[in-house]
């Protein structure tokens, strides 16, 4: 009787979570699965020849100043903020990107041929379907603060739903390994077993995605540092020298300070107290990005290392959430987990409705 009571409690918890956060989890999962396929998604919207321009044999990549210069000439309405090397920014593909603000403030992205520096096309990011998918996944299209709170609670709800579902699924009488196979041949029982077995196979990666999702969305709930800790105000008010406007000097000073690293991104100074923010990548790691601030208003450019992101977030949380740190095979698992969430929600809801109808009849 005690075990039955416990099962009723867990079943009530499982059902209540499905009814309260299930729809949100279904949307988060479906959008997450789409983001695994972000390169073909962007290519479908702007054109594959723009996202993956053909290489020019024997020609090295141009530098960021060339990308920015040609973009500013072609699109004077774009107020440039920065640039990223191919594959190093927030958009996939083999093109470099230059990003900035379009009137009346939307984010605009220009795809640039990395070797010739010629702009290939302007992409109004904030008005794109891809941006809608990103916003759906990160905040369910809600206002920023409310959206991140709701997504954070959905992540917690998913963890509790998975654990309660695992308790209800775990066999009480038959041998446990038989529960990993579908035994019922047809009918409602078959759907119940499909619901439980599919969730059981994906339990571990789903828990990882739920935990890392909460940590990335609401790190303060877990006592973790945010994505970009702010600098002390005293340092921002009294910089060592002015920001300067010499992008070539900033790039050269960075290369001299870190000769073995590869420059993969740059953000231009914002205001007289700003500085160039230049992102570097080690040749031995694709995750250990280093960010430096460069001020070119001094007699000699001043290069300072800054902590743009915590090591935990950069080396573990982001990679685990993106591909389980397993590369393409991990992306396949993340994709399966994403499409499983709406399927589990629909099948669970169908089973619950069927059970209520049976009781009513």
Spatial distance between the Cα atoms of 213 and 338, rounded to a whole number of angstroms = 13
Q: Is 84 helix (H, G, I), strand (E, B) or coil?
A: strand
pLDDT in tens, 164-177: 988 887 776 556 55
Question: For the packed helices 129-139 and 144-169, what is the interaxial angle rounded to 10 degrees?
Answer: 60
Which tens digits make up the pLDDT trace of 311-328?
888 889 999 999 999 999
Whether the bond into 82 is cis, omega within 30 of 0: no
Q: Where are the domains positioned within the chain?
A: 2-37+135-226+327-360, 233-308
Distance between CA atoms of 266 and 248, rounded to whole angstroms? 12
CA distance linking residue 24 with residue 138, whole number of Å? 11
Average pLDDT, the chain: 87
In degrees and rounded to multiples of 5, residue 267 shows phi and psi of -120, 130
What are the E-state strand segments in the chain?
79-84, 96-102, 106-112, 119-124, 262-267, 276-281, 289-295, 302-306
pLDDT tens, 66-94? 999 999 999 999 999 999 999 898 899 99
Does the pLDDT value for residue 276 go beyond 90?
yes
**Mind listing the pLDDT tens digit for each residue in 98-137?**
999 999 899 999 999 999 999 999 999 999 999 999 999 9
Distance CA 140, CA 134 (A): 9
How is 290-308 classified by DSSP, letter by letter? EEEEEE-SSSS-EEEEE--
CA gap 197, 252 in Å, rounded:
57
């Amino acid at each position: 009787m005690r075990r039955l009571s416990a099962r009723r409690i867990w079943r009530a918890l499982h059902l209540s979570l499905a009814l309260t956060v299930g729809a949100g989890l279904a949307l988060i999962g479906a959008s997450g699965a789409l983001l695994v396929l972000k390169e073909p998604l962007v290519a479908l919207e702007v054109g594959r020849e723009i996202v993956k321009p053909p290489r020019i044999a024997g020609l090295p990549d141009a530098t960021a100043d060339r990308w920015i210069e040609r973009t500013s000439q072609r699109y004077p309405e774009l107020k440039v903020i920065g640039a990223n090397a191919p594959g190093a920014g927030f958009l996939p593909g083999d093109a470099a990107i230059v990003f900035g603000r379009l009137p009346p403030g939307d984010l605009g992205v220009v795809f640039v041929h990395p070797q010739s520096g010629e702009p290939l096309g302007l992409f109004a990011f904030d008005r794109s379907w891809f941006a809608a998918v990103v916003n759906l996944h990160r905040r369910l299209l809600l206002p920023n603060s409310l959206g991140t709170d709701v997504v954070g609670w959905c992540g917690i709800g998913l963890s509790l739903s998975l654990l309660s579902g695992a308790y209800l699924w775990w066999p009480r009488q038959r041998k446990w390994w038989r529960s990993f196979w579908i035994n019922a041949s047809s009918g409602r029982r078959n759907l119940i077993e499909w619901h439980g077995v599919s969730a059981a196979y994906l339990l571990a990666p789903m828990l990882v995605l739920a935990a890392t999702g909460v940590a990335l969305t609401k790190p303060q709930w877990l006592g973790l540092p945010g994505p970009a800790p702010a600098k002390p105000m005293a340092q921002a008010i009294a910089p060592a020298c002015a920001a300067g406007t010499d992008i070539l000097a900033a790039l050269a000073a960075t290369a001299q300070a870190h000769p073995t690293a590869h420059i993969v991104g740059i953000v231009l100074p914002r205001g007289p107290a700003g500085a160039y923010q230049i992102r570097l990548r080690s040749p031995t790691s694709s995750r250990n990005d280093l960010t430096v601030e460069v001020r070119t208003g001094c007699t000699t450019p001043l290069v300072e290392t800054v902590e743009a992101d915590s090591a935990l977030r950069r080396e573990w949380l982001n990679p685990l959430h993106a591909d389980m740190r397993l590369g393409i095979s991990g992306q396949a698992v993340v994709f399966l987990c994403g499409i499983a969430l709406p399927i589990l929600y629909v099948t669970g809801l169908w089973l619950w409705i069927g059970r209520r109808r049976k009781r009513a009849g």
